[in-house]
Chain A
Amino acid sequence: MKKLWKNRPILIALLAAALFLVLAALTVGRRTASRGEDMFASAVLPVQEAVSDMTDRVTDFFTRVFFPSSLQQENEYLKKLVSAYERRLILYEAMEQENARLSELLDYASTNSNFYFMTAPVSAKNLNPYVDTLTVRGGSRSGITEQMAAVNAQGIVGRVIEVGATYAKIRTLQNDDMRISVMVERTRDEGMLGGLILENGQLVGLKLYYLPKDADLQVGDTIVTSGLGGIFPKGLYVGKVLFLADEDNGAYDACVVSDVDFEHLEEVLIILGKES
């Protein structure tokens, strides 16, 4: 063999090449490594990784030294990328919140399926507690007319007082001139809700009055619309009794607080009509 190796190296090389080609043909398209290959690769891999890591460091060093402008460009690019992602994140969070709000409205509309609703985004607000009004997108072209009720998932919001072609103004419950005919859900005693109760300039709740003298009103009672007056359909949630008035205070019977967050209203449902 040693003699053959010395005298006929070309023959041996050609034979070995032919064998390797056969091996190559046999190993085409394999997906799994043999045990020997696996052992060899496992033994060499740490060295390769170490060398590769060192190469990265050296490349990085020389890139910093010789191509600082490329790093600056990359930095600028990454800053823009981060900024774009931040904008997208803000947009995503706003959409997520909008989605949650609209889902709530949809749930409300589903549970009151005997009414026709229209979602109206709030476009402007006047948060002076004495003249509290909202402007929403959607007016006469969308079928909104004056005196329609505006609600959201937390309860009654107000009623439409002015309608343009593409907008409508809503007087909210927090407006001092607003009056609603209501009743106590538990006892069915009817009364009137409206007018603000202020304490040191801060809004505490709404006045509930004209209840029967023998009305058994309790703190925590639920107040709903009575349906009288024709503006608000019967049975819509308005709020809960926060406290009862003193006997010597004849101005109102109790203070009712609404669950609606009037300062953060972004969409309302306008009740367009009732199913006949």
Chain B
Amino acid sequence: MALKRQAVLFLSFDTALLLDTAILPKWNLFHMVPFVMLALMLAAEQVFSLQAAIIIGTLGGLFEDLLCENMIGLTPALCLLAAVAYDKLPKNSDTKPAILGLYCMLLAFALEIVRALASWVIGMRFGFVNAVLYGALPRALLTGLWALIGMALLKPLLKRQVDNP
């Protein structure tokens, strides 16, 4: 079962990487592109553990930076901070999925704002209102939705593992 879980996580990781770097940027509808790797990381943290989220966030963020960013290390750092923040948010096993999705959206929103600020610091020019309205907000909403989908997909793996130790 553990092997199956690792295989599913590996495939999800690869899919998220390709979605973020090759597929979704092609369908860039008014900049509404979700951050699928972050969604996968938060889903893995909710379903499995903080350690799983740290591994996914570190590797996923690093790979995406290597492929797309010009600041290597920014995305994994932000993903790890998001993972720690998610761990500290008030929740338990009875927390409704809608609340978990909202947490994910808030974290994604905060991450996008920090990323926009970091870009501004290094000299990129853009309007903050546009960055929030047309960038961070729709991305955060879609990332939250993807995180909910990720949780729904990963949860059966955890249940079987628990039921069949």
Contacts and interface: CB of A to CB of B under 8 A. Distances in A.
The answer to whether A and B come from one shared complex is yes
Interface of A: 5-6, 9-10, 12-14, 16-30, 37, 40-41, 44, 47-48, 51-52, 55-56, 59
A142 B66 CA distance: 72
A27 B26 contact: no
B52 to A, nearest CB: 10
B26 A13 contact: no
Interface in B65-83: 66-67, 70-74, 76-78, 80-81, 83
Contacts, number: 91
B22 A52 contact: yes
Contact of B70 (A6, A12, A28): A28
Interface of B: 18, 21-23, 26-27, 49-51, 54, 58, 61-63, 66-67, 70-74, 76-78, 80-81, 83-84, 87, 118, 122
21 contacts: A6-B51, A9-B49, A9-B50, A10-B50, A12-B54, A13-B81, A14-B81, A14-B84, A16-B58, A16-B76, A16-B77, A17-B81, A20-B74, A23-B72, A23-B73, A24-B73, A24-B77, A27-B73, A28-B70, A30-B70, A48-B21
A16 B61 CA distance: 12
Contacts of B26: 52, 55-56, 59
A6 to B, nearest CB: 8
A20 B66 contact: no
A51 B23 contact: yes
A13 B50 contact: yes
B67 A44 contact: yes
Main secondary structure of the interface of B (DSSP, over half): helix
Given A20-B80, A48-B18, A52-B26, A37 B72 contact: yes
Given A37-B66, A59-B27, A27 B18 contact: no
Contact of A21 (B21, B50, B63, B77): B77
Nearest to B50: A9
Contacts of A25: 71
A13 B57 CA distance: 10
A20 B22 contact: no
Given A5-B51, A27-B71, A20 B77 contact: yes
A51 B18 CA distance: 8
A59 B122 CA distance: 35
A271 B76 CA distance: 82
Residue with the highest number of chain B CB atoms closer than 10 Å, among A14, A19, A20, A23: A20
Contacts of A24: 71-74, 77, 118
Query: Closest 8 interchain pairs by CB?
Result: A23-B73, A20-B77, A24-B73, A20-B73, A24-B74, A17-B80, A27-B72, A24-B71
B76 A20 contact: yes
A22 B71 CA distance: 10
A51 B50 contact: no
B122 A17 contact: no
A21 B22 contact: no
A27 B27 CA distance: 29
Contact of A40 (B18, B51, B66, B87): B66
